[in-house]
Amino acid sequence: MLKEEFISRIKKVENIASGSKVNRMLRHPFKYFNAIFFREIVYKNSKREKEVMSTTFFQTPMHLLLPSSTDIYLIGGKSHDSEIRLAKFLIHQLDNGDTFIDVGAHYGYFSLLASKLVGNLGKVFAFEASPTTYQIFQKNAEQTDNVVSHNLAVSDSNEHLKFYEFPNLYSEYNSLDVEQFKNEKWFSEYKPKEVNVKSIMLDDFLSDKKSNPKLIKIDVEGAELKVIKGFKKHLSEMSPLVVIEYLSDERGNTAHVEAEKLLGSLGFQPHIIDSTGNLQHLKSVSSFFKEKGIDSDNVVFVKGN
C-alpha cells in the first residue's frame, strides 16, 4: 500500500517537473516567485544561501538550503528525469527491514525516502563529506529513528583528505577532485574552498556493523573508483545493488569507466532504470548515452545478470 501511494505521488512530481514553468508557478505562486527571486537576484548578488523547510512527496519535512534545492522546495522532489526514475527504483526495491547505504547524501533526499521504505526494522547509513552540507543533512537525519548520518568521505583508504566545497548553487558538485569542473562556465565565478575531511573504507564499515545492505547509492563526483575499491571484499562476497551516477565520455568519466570495469570483474553488470522504475540491461553504457543524447544518468550494477 505504501509503495503504491509513493509511486502515485512521484508520478505527480514527474508530471509537474515535465510541465511548463507557468503550471509550476500557478500551483504555489508566492512560493514560486519567492524562490526564483531569491535564486536569480538575491543569491547572485550576495552568494549567501537561505535555509527553508519543505515537505517531500513522501511526506517527510526536510531542511534545505536555497538555491541548490529549489526543485524539492517547489515540487516536493528532485526534478531531473534520472532522479525521478531513481526514486521509483528505490520504491520498488526497498522493503521493511532492508539496509540502504547512501554515499554522497547531500541534504538527505534519498536517505529520507529510504528511511520510510525500510521502516523501523531497517537501517539507513548515510555519508556526506562536506561539513557545510552535513549540517543541514544532520538536521534531517535527526528527525528519523533509522537514519545514521556520518560526516565522512568514503574512499579506498582510512585517512584525512583534501575536499572541495562549492558555493551553495553548485554544492551538489562538492568533490575530492575539482579538475573535472575547471572548464565549466560557472567555475570561475563559483570557486570552491578546500577543507580537510576524514575518509573511511566501506569494507571496514560494513564489517564493523555486520551489515549486508540491499542497495548502495554512490554519488561522489569523480571518486567512484575509490569508493568501489574500498569495498571490493564485500562486493566479491555479497550481491548488493550498486547505483552510480555515471557521466558521459564528453563530461570526463574516467573514474566511472574504471569503476565499471572493476565491478565487471566482480560479476556486476550495468543496467539502466526505465520510466517505470524497473531495470533494463545495458550492453554498453557509453553507447546507450550516445544513442539517447544524455550526459549523465544513474546506472545500476547487478551481480550475476
Q: Consecutive sets of 10 residues in the chain, 305 residues long: mean pLDDT of each?
A: 95 94 87 94 93 97 96 96 98 98 97 98 97 96 97 94 90 83 81 92 96 96 92 97 91 88 96 97 93 94 87
Say what the pLDDT of residue 305 is: 57
Say what the pLDDT of residue 248 is: 84
CA distances from 248 to 25, 170, 242, 257 (A): 33, 19, 18, 10
Classify 275 as helix, strand or coil: coil
Contacts of 223 (CB under 8 A, 6+ apart): 153, 154, 155, 175, 176, 177, 255
Q: For the chain, what's the residue count?
A: 305
Q: Give the cell for residue 138.
A: 544532520
Domain ranges of the chain: 2-303
Say what the pLDDT of residue 42 is: 95
CA dist 175 and 163 (Å) reads 6
SS3 sequence of 176-187? CCCHHHCCCCCC
Say what the pLDDT of residue 285 is: 93
Element (H, E) at 230: none
0.85 cut: is pTM over it? yes
| 147-150 β-sheet, strand order | 147-150, 123-127, 99-103, 215-218, 241-247, 296-303, 268-273, 279-281
- Asked if 197 and 152 touch (Cβ cutoff 8 Å), the reply is yes
Handedness of CA 222, 226, 230, 233 (dihedral sign): positive
Task: Determine the topology of domain 2-303 in CATH.
Answer: Rossmann fold (3.40.50)
CA dist 240 and 110 (Å) reads 17
> Angle, nearest 10°, between helix axes 2-18 and 81-93?
180
Say what the pLDDT of residue 40 is: 94
Contacts of 11 (CB under 8 A, 6+ apart): none
CA dist 211 and 148 (Å) reads 13
CA dist 260 and 244 (Å) reads 9
Element (H, E) at 78: none
How do 99-103 and 123-127 pair as beta strands?
A: parallel
**Cβ–Cβ contacts within 10 Å for residue 180, how many?**
18
CA nearest 271: which of 297, 237, 292, 238? 297
